[in-house]
Amino acid sequence: MFLGEYYTTFTGHNRVILPKKFRQELGGKRGVVLSRGLEGCIWGFSLEEWQKEASKQLETPVTERSGRDLRRYLFSAAEEVRLDDQGRLVVPGNLREYAQLKGGVVIIGAGDHFEIWEGKEWEKLLKGLTKKEKLDEFGKNAS
């Protein structure tokens, strides 16, 4: 599972280093799929997990508007990227723009995938997630 929260910056040529724990989770494989996430982040999946997620999204019939919309949103921005020997990956320009990535980047584990956030946006979201009302809501859903 992808776990943890890691602060980093671009290393040049629009590359970020994937945390060592995440590279280990990939089991030495270098391919990952990046796509638009929700709330303004980028989702990153191992190739195997991407296949699973893609299959789930394809269950909604293309004849339903929601099925078409989700496919358009998720698959149009998806791109397979490869880690270099130092564990860095290039974040494609369309995804950098979508997530408004500039300098400070946060890469978080989200279980079956990881997310890449602009640092200030992650801090705002995290602040909202840690409010007492939200934590109480999480507790009710966990029961």
Q: Burial level of 70, CB count in 10 A (0-12/13-18/19+)?
A: middle
Q: Report the alpha-carbon distance of residue 117 to residue 34 in Å, rounded.
A: 12
The structural domains of the chain, with segments of one domain joined by +, span 5-118
Q: What is the pTM of this model?
A: 0.89
* pLDDT at residue 103 in the model: 77
Higher-confidence residue: 11 or 88? 88
Instruction: For residue 142, name the pLDDT band (cuts at 50, 70, 90).
Output: low
Compute the average pLDDT of residues 89-118. Answer: 95
Instruction: For residue 132, name the pLDDT band (cuts at 50, 70, 90).
Output: low
Task: Output the CATH code of domain 5-118.
Answer: 3.40.1550.20
Whether 137 shows a pLDDT value over 80: the answer reads: no
pLDDT per residue as tens digits for the range 24-82: 999 989 999 999 999 999 999 999 999 999 999 889 889 999 989 999 999 999 999 99
Instruction: For residue 131, name the pLDDT band (cuts at 50, 70, 90).
Output: confident
* pLDDT at residue 78 in the model: 97
